């Protein structure tokens, strides 16, 4: 599902309602703590609630720390996580961006594998990336029994690459690990024993995980870290589901990816191709198609639109390309006129939809256009996750103090 909404367009309330009623495990990404405040109490009755909030947004504490190097003794895990880190780095304006991301991953996977084998942490990886002791990871890989020595060979290539090439690759790796420069953020990947996230257990127990981060500039500093964790959850959910009788996770995992382009840039276009068949439901939330194009390119944005079974546009969108695409998708229909102003406004807007994209933008706030696969487009009334008459969360109107949530 794809949702398009400007800031303060009602997406938080809509997502909160979905999360409150969802029967399976949930991963929610957000730049504020409001979704957590609206849903965590009710979700705690269904399964364990986990929070990963390295920046402390809204005063909500993290319930765990997560070390991306855990498990990287296995070369396949190191490769998967290095890919997630480097692919999450924004390459806007960089020529051949996919090439540089792939090259950076070629080297970063060797660093991850070596650090895991030597029981080191990401701070050592960051030092290697900056050029400190370049031979050390190669020595670890060559001297450790069972290590993937071909990764040491890839690391050795760095010393033979052209200066411009290696500088660009190092820049990509450095940006992926830039959050480590902030000690408070670096602490998020240095868990004490027993204080990490057991992903298979989280999925089996129908847990809820909130990834909360604020942006600084175009992206959040922890965006590559969040993308790596979300990618790992997606991978393990698909793997666990493949062992079940139906061949898919049941109940399905919901990935509610709000502000994903900024704080959790996972490969949504490729995920949408087969995630549904694996028992993984994905909701992609963006301000407009332009935001999708900015992160995943024109083809990636088109894939998201083509593979999202349901599309919902909330009021206030001003991106003309998005409005015209919505207008073309909705088409025209004949509707009975009514004397009531609200119904007349909806009827006129629907009649003009195919001819004039601005009609979609002028719809009353109480109804949003939605298009679902194999169904005619329609106007629907969005229902938020709270009682608008009380102006408090439906979960519990007393949870104003982030340190006093029921699950803590």
Span 185-220, pLDDT tens digits:
999 999 987 788 999 999 999 999 999 998 876 678
Span 291-310, pLDDT tens digits:
888 888 889 999 999 998 88
The C-alpha atoms of residue 133 and residue 129 are separated, in whole angstroms, by 9
The C-alpha atoms of residue 269 and residue 292 are separated, in whole angstroms, by 10
- What domains, with CATH codes, occur in the chain? 2-65+187-388 (3.40.50.300), 75-182 (no CATH)
Quote the pLDDT of residue 78: 97
Preceding omega of 122 cis (within 30 degrees of 0): no
Contacts of 392 (CB under 8 A, 6+ apart): 386
Query: Quick one: tokens of 313?
Result: 């546009």
The more confidently predicted of residues 408 and 327 is 327
Q: How many CB atoms lie within 10 A of CB 350?
A: 22
Give CA angle at 92 (305, 27), nearest 5°.
50
The DSSP output letter for 118 is T
The dihedrals phi and psi of 279, each to the nearest 5 degrees, come to 85, 35
The C-alpha atoms of residue 10 and residue 367 are separated, in whole angstroms, by 11
Q: What is the mean pLDDT of the chain?
A: 82
Span 128-170, pLDDT tens digits:
999 888 899 999 999 999 999 999 988 988 776 666 678 888 8
């Amino acid at each position: 599902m794809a949702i398009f909404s400007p800031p303060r367009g009602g997406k938080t309330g809509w997502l909160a309602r979905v999360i409150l009623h969802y029967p399976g495990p949930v991963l929610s990404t957000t730049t504020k703590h409001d979704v957590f405040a609206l849903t965590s109490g009710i979700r705690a009755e269904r399964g364990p609630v986990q929070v990963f909030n390295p920046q402390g947004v809204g005063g909500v504490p993290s319930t765990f720390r997560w070390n991306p190097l855990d498990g990287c003794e296995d070369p396949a895990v190191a490769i998967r996580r290095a890919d997630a880190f480097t692919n999450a780095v924004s390459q806007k304006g960089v020529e051949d961006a996919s090439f540089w991301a792939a090259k950076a991953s070629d080297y970063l996977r060797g660093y991850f594998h070596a650090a895991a084998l030597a029981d080191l942490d990401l701070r050592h990886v960051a030092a290697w990336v900056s050029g400190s002791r370049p031979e050390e990871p190669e020595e670890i890989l060559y001297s450790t029994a069972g290590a993937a020595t071909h990764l040491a060979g890839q690391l050795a290539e760095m010393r033979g690459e052209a200066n411009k090439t290696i500088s660009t690759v190092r820049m990509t790796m450095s940006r992926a690990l830039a959050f480590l420069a902030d000690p408070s953020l670096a602490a998020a990947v240095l868990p004490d024993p027993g204080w990490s996230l057991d992903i298979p257990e989280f999925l089996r127990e129908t847990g809820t995980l909130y990834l909360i981060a604020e942006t600084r500039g175009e992206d959040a500093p922890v965006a590559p870290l969040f993308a790596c964790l979300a990618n790992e959850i997606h991978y393990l959910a698909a793997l666990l589901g493949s062992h079940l009788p139906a061949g898919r996770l049941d109940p399905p995992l919901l990935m509610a990816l709000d502000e994903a382009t900024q704080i959790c840039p996972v490969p949504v276009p490729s995920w949408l191709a087969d995630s549904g068949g694996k028992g993984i439901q994905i909701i992609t939330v963006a301000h407009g198609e332009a935001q999708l194009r900015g992160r995943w390119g024109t083809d990636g944005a088109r894939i998201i639109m083509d593979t999202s079974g349901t599309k919902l546009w909330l009021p206030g969108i001003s991106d003309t390309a998005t409005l015209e695409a919505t207008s073309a998708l909705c088409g025209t229909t004949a509707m009975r006129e009514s004397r009531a102003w609200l119904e007349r406004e909806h009827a006129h807007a629907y009649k003009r939809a195919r001819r004039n994209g601005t009609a979609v933008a002028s719809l009353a706030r109480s109804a949003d256009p939605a298009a679902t696969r194999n169904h005619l487009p329609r106007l629907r009334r969005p229902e938020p996750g709270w009682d608008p008459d009380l102006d408090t969360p439906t979960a519990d109107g007393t949870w104003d103090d982030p340190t006093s949530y029921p699950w803590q």
